[in-house]
Amino acid sequence: MKLWLDPSRKQDFAFISHAHADHAARHRKILATTTTSRILKHRLGMNAHITCSFGEPLQIGSGSVTLYPAGHILGSAQVLVELGDERLLYTGDFKLQPSRTAEPCRPVSCDYLIMECTYGLPQYRFPERAGVESHLVDSIVDVMERGEVPVVLAYALGRAQEVIQLLISRGFKVALERRIFELALIYEELGVELGPYESFDPQNFDGRVLIFPPHLWNSPVLRRIPRKRTIAVTGWAIDGRQRSWYRSDMAFPISDHADFDDLTRYVEITQPRQVYLIHGFPDFAQHLEKKGVNVTSLI
């Protein structure tokens, strides 16, 4: 039986690397981590048919598959497929830098590497995370001291939980849009402590940082909030793309993907004979070729 890797169309048997909607479809048979299966059930009403813990090989036909943490969001996984003496690794979306709420990424040596390269251009080198977080916190303090309402725009699954934990640890009260609130409850069910948070109440949000998904930046509920300041949290803040997407007042480059340098470093760590690139910039292939890497862009 063929094992598809994050296919967008329904297949007989597919690996789903994580629970973001652009990686999940209603396949006839699904392989995923137990954590991803739990989040998929909440978001899309479906379960994985086969669930694995990290590092536990699963025999499939004449080969085996093993899941390893990808560091992207909670439960996100890479899959290592072993057939005979050959090893193929599919990263899915991944991040090498530490995460507040996701399992640390574990690079795995392989012969063939299928790797996403979302930020595969030299301009996407993210600044040191602690400094960005401190700048974000200081900016929110300034907004609140001016009597304005800070609204942080962060993807509901993954980045929002990172922001929640950061802000609560710095002493802020946070109020969460419904989707983010429900996912925060699931994160805590799965063992990730976020701290005390509230569901957003349109009648009572004074003194709180509001956290909303980016697609609601111009929603009626936010338009009714006077004196608000919107703050986007996204890797695209590096080149200002968030301004055309979210019309945010401020933006901070916090991402759950590897940046340009860590994409390069991942190839150096895993030492594949052949690299295949997906989901990003085809220019990254030229960068790897100059380093002597055998690479094919599938973008």
pLDDT digits (tens, 9 = 90+) for 237-271: 998 776 667 789 999 999 999 999 999 999 999 99
Residue 243, pLDDT score:
67
Alpha-carbon span 116 to 94, nearest angstrom? 8
CATH 3.40.50.360 is right for the domain spanning 129-252:
no
Spans of the chain below 70 pLDDT: 1, 242-244
Query: Cβ(151)–Cβ(202) under 8 Å?
Result: no
CATH number of 4-123+257-297: 3.60.15.10
The boundaries of every CATH 3.40.50.10890 domain in the chain are 129-252
127 contacts: CB under 8 Å, gap ≥ 6: 253
Helix axes 159-169, 178-189, angle to 10 degrees: 80
Alpha-carbon span 262 to 296, nearest angstrom? 19
Residue 235, pLDDT score:
94
In the chain, which ranges are E strands? Answer: 4-5, 14-15, 30-33, 50-52, 58-60, 63-69, 77-83, 86-90, 112-117, 149-153, 173-176, 198-199, 208-212, 228-233, 250-252, 274-280, 295-297
Residue 154, pLDDT score:
97
The boundaries of every CATH 3.60.15.10 domain in the chain are 4-123+257-297
Query: Cβ(137)–Cβ(160) under 8 Å?
Result: no
Alpha-carbon span 70 to 6, nearest angstrom? 14
Query: Cβ(74)–Cβ(35) under 8 Å?
Result: yes
**Residue type for 60, please?**
I
Alpha-carbon span 53 to 34, nearest angstrom? 7
Q: What are the residue ranges of helices labelled H in 172-215? A: 178-189
